[in-house]
Amino acid sequence: MNRDLTVGKPGRVLWSFCVPLFGSIIFQQLYNIADSFVAGKFVGEDALAAVGNSYEVTLIFIAFAMGCNMGCSITVSRLFGAKRYREMKTAVSTTLIAGGALCAVLMAAGGLFSGSLLRLIHTPEEIFDASRLYLDIYILGLPFVFFYNIATGIFSALGNSRTPFLFLMCSSLANIGADILFTTALSPIFHRGVDGVAWATFLCQGVSCVLALVFVFRSLRAVPSEGPVPLFSRRLLYRIAAVAVPSILQQSCISIGNIIIQGVVNLFGTGVVAGYAAAVKLNNLVITSLTTLGNGISNFTAQNTGAGKLFRVREGFRAGLRLVWGLSLPFAVLFFTAGQALILLFLDTPSEDALRTGITFLRIVAPFYFVVSAKLAADGVLRGSAMMRQFMAATFTDLILRVALARLLSATALGSAGIWMVWPVGWAVSTALSLLFYRRGPWSAAQPEGEEIQDTPRRSLAAKRGAAST
């Protein structure tokens, strides 16, 4: 059901919109966690390392898909908030056409250079073939990733967070079952194990993508619009690109940074790679959940900006901050106190290096979820109001610090633990920047409609002078 986010109490509206989004991202992350869980439990430590190693490369493709998601979602949110429904529908079809063309280019590039990327990050020889096999199958399913992300962006823009949640819940649970089936009962067909989890994910993502697109088109038909709707608009493409391109650059650079860090991790051997693969999956569950809530804040901001209700943006941020902090607490406590049990979910008989690596990573980063969550809430407002330069500045600061310090600290007596310490440093500095940019936004002085604006000292002085002259 489509929902107008410009009416109602901002905090209540935002929470009711974001809670299903949180549920959606939990099930979205089950895709990746299921692959690692099944690979580690039913195939072996090398398979887990191969899936985790390939995952860092897939994040480049996901960055492009998420950029299309955000470009479409923010543009459609603004047009929906302004009730310009005809242009809104054109923005949707324009994104689908442009996204399909971009996806084709990425599939061609991925097919040609997947092996070179794996070599570039120093993939250990014992997991190279399995990593490449997983990556090649993932690239075949890239259209499903692209169009599904665009579809969920449209749902969010229309204020509908419940429908994608239901899709993801069903498809993620099905993916877990398919992963296990393909690596156990059907293991003679998928003899390497890794290809089984890859094909299971391919199948389930394909089904969820098709269903999501069907329901998107049904939702759009329910929105009234006058006259024929053009399928493509160059002007709207520029507006979409103004948000999408910075988002793609930001997320691509983060992915490249993660690949560079993965290359540093790979130098420590397969045991450390496997432990990092398990721990970073858990960490990504939290960060992606917080990012998705930030995306919800972006949609709330975009609709209210389009409707000219800037005062609601400020109230939405405060409610969003309470939401992300409430989410951070249980994860921080769980990861810090139960790291060993969580790593053992992925590995039956982990090596000493793998277990120690996973526990150390979680204990270092978990206490700082409160810091990065504040950044992601502020980033949601910046992105929703199209303040992309400020958004990118804060994000790139985090990236540059992490990449530079990972190489530096890993060469010290800290060893691999030095790599994990760069997460809190990057988060702290970039959070300070994001909050500073947020406080300088136009919503800081906005007043609710119908509420008398307080006189400033200058206006009071002018009034006194006017009274004295009469």
Q: What is the pLDDT of residues 208-245, one digit of tens each?
A: 899 889 999 988 888 888 788 899 999 999 999 988 88
Does 446 or 186 have the greater pLDDT score?
Answer: 446
Does 32 or 460 have the greater pLDDT score?
Answer: 32
- Asked whether the beta carbons of 52 and 271 are under 8 A apart, the reply is no
pLDDT of residue 188: 55
C-alpha 197/C-alpha 34 separation (Å) is 8
Q: Which residues are CB-contacts of 307 (< 8 A; sequence separation ≥ 6)?
A: 6, 81, 82
Question: Strand runs (DSSP E) across 225-281, as ranges?
Answer: none
pLDDT of residue 106: 94
Domain locations in the chain? 10-444
Q: Is the pLDDT of residue 466 over 80?
A: no
> For the ranges 50-64, 96-110, 212-226, 321-335, which has the lowest average pLDDT?
50-64
Q: Is the pLDDT of residue 389 over 60?
A: yes
Q: Is the pLDDT of residue 339 over 60?
A: yes
C-alpha 89/C-alpha 100 separation (Å) is 17
94 burial (CB, 10 Å; 0-12 / 13-18 / 19+) is buried
Percentage with pLDDT > 90 across the chain: 31
- Across 85-99, 269-283, 382-396, which has the greatest mean pLDDT? 85-99
pLDDT of residue 433: 94
| Stretch 105-129: mean pLDDT | 89
Task: Spell out the alpha helix ranges (H) of 158-193.
Answer: 162-183
Q: How confident is the model at residue 450 (pLDDT cuts 50, 70, 90)?
A: very low
C-alpha 297/C-alpha 302 separation (Å) is 8
- Across 37-51, 92-106, 398-412, which has the greatest mean pLDDT? 92-106
**Residue appearing with tokens 């007043």:** 447
Q: What is the DSSP-derived secondary structure letter of residue 411? A: T
pLDDT of residue 70: 84
Q: Which residues are CB-contacts of 324 (< 8 A; sequence separation ≥ 6)?
A: 290, 293, 294, 373, 374, 376, 377
Considering the chain, what is the average pLDDT of its residues?
83
- Asked whether the beta carbons of 466 and 416 are under 8 A apart, the reply is no
Percentage with pLDDT > 70 across the chain: 88
State the distance between the two ends of the chain, measured CA to CA, in whole angstroms.
59
Question: Of all helices (H) and strands (E), which one includes residue 207?
Answer: helix 194-221
Q: Is the pLDDT of residue 446 over 80?
A: no
Q: Is the pLDDT of residue 192 over 50?
A: yes
